[in-house]
Amino acid sequence: MDQTTAMYVAQGLHGLAYGMVLFLIAAGLNVIFGMMGVLNLAHASFFMLSAYLGFQFVSITGNFWLALLLAPPATAICGVLMERFLLTKVHAFGHMGELILTLGVAQIILAAVKGIWGTESLPLKMPPILEGRVTFAGLDYPIYRLFIIGLALAILAIMTLLLYKTRLGKIVRAAVSDAGMVNALGINIPLVFMMVFGIGIWMAGVAGVAIAPILTVFPGLADQVGMDAFIVVVTGGFGSLLGAFVVSIIFGLLSSYGVQFFSQFASVLIVGFMAIVLAIRPNGLFGARDA
């Protein structure tokens, strides 16, 4: 293809890649919010924590794949600990309680990260196998970004399978709809909640390690992505994984084509899109209709 077409296709791929990363972070947040009604302001902080843990694993073992495998579950464990010992105590006070608690945890994670790893930016090199670019049809594209797209799609596939093809998935979907009823049916709802929370954090953790070679690992990492993830969740609709996916892709494409055609006003496109969606459907694109 000619240069201009190649550029537009490349921008599309960039949008996809960025959207997929956003999806990984937002999906966890979405399910947690949708099912447990929990506002987790510390979600992006766990994303950042996982990037740091990934760095640590790479420093110790020198192996990126190990880090990708181990850091997210380690982060998920931290998340579950927070859920079990802290969040459950404040459920009674609704959203405000969760907001303050998770805000506090976010601050603590920031302090911990600075205390353990310091304030400077840490290097995380990508595995040599994923370095470099592929050339196809006149297009030159970094392999690592293709890897990210693939990884996110794989996780999406696993999640969908889990949700729709397993008994656990059925329970989770039912719990999103009516947790009280499911509890009445004898299912151990707190356990289910804990698992879902863990999986949500795990997904954010994968995003953290995956994106670390592209971004700088420093204490401001959480702030960089936090608001974007929230906007995706809000626009997509709580509890809707499909909503999170669709909106993530749209956001990714809007940001890359926005830069292409509207330069610095790309971010206006994104928030504008969000505003319009919310004005028409306040519960999000795929959110349940408010009673």
Partner 1 sequence: MKRVVHRLVPLAFTLFFLAPAAVAQPAANAGFDFKNMSDMSDFDPANPVIPTGDTIKIAVVASFSGPAALVGQIYWTSAAWAVHDVNKRGGIMVDGKKKLIELIKADHASKPDQAKRITERMVLQDKVNVLWGTDGSNLQKIINETANKYKVIAINTASLSDDLQDATNFSRYAFQTSMSADQLGRGLAYYYGQTRKKEKKFYILCQDYSFGHVLADGFKKGMKEFYPDAQIVGEDYHKLFLTDFAPYLEKIKASGAEVVFTGDWIPDAANLLKQARQAGVGIPFAHVFLDEPNFLHEVGVEGTKGLIQISQYGTDNPSFKTPEQIKYYKTWNDLWKTKWKTAPYNSHLFEHGTGNIGSYIEQTYWLLSVIERAQSTDPEKIIKVWEGDSYRFTTGKVIKMRACDHKAVQDLHIFEYVPPDQQKQAFNIPPYYWYTGTSAPGPMTVLPARVVLPWMDPALDRCKGQSAAG
Partner 2 sequence: MRRALAALSWVAGAVALAVLPTTVGPYYTNVFVTFAIFSVFSVSLNLLLGYTGLFSFGHAMFFGAGGYGTALALKHVSGLALLPAVGAGVLASLVLALVLAPIVVRVSGTAFAMLHLAFSQVLYVLALKLRAITGGEDGIGNFPIPPLNIPGVASIPMKDSPQNFYYFAIVLLALSLWLMWFFTKTPFGQVQLAIRENARRTDYLGFKVPQSKAVIYLVSAAFAGVSGSLYGLFHNLVSDDGAFGALVSFAPIINIMIGGIGSFMGPVLGTALFLVIEEVTSRFTERVELVIGLIFVLGIMFAPLGVLGTARKLRQKWRADREARASVRRTA
Chain residues in the site for partner 2 (CB under 8 A): 33, 37, 86, 89-90, 92-97, 99-101, 103-112, 114-115, 227, 230-231, 234-235, 238, 264-265, 267-268, 270-272, 274-275, 278-279, 282-284, 287, 290
- Which of 174/266 has CB closer to partner 1? 266
Minimal distance in Å, beta carbon 254 to partner 1?
Answer: 10
Residue 11 binds which one of partner 1, partner 2, none, with CB within 5 to 8 A depending on kind?
partner 1
Contacting residues toward partner 1, per CB under 8 A: 3-4, 7, 10-11, 14-15, 17-18, 110, 114, 117-123, 125, 131, 133, 140, 142, 144-145, 211, 214-216, 218-220, 223-225, 228, 255-260, 263-264, 266-267
CB nearer to partner 1: give 18 or 202. 18
Q: How far apart are CA 30 and CA 88, in angstroms?
A: 18
- Our CB check for partner 1 shows the closer of 253 and 288 to be 253
Task: Identify whether the C-beta of residue 233 lies closer than 8 Å to the C-beta of residue 26.
Answer: yes
Residue indicated by tokens 């990984």: 24
> Please, what is the minimum distance in Å from the beta carbon of residue 179 to partner 2?
15
Least Cβ distance, residue 56 to partner 1 (angstroms): 13
Are 252 and 19 in contact by the 8 Å Cβ rule? The answer is yes
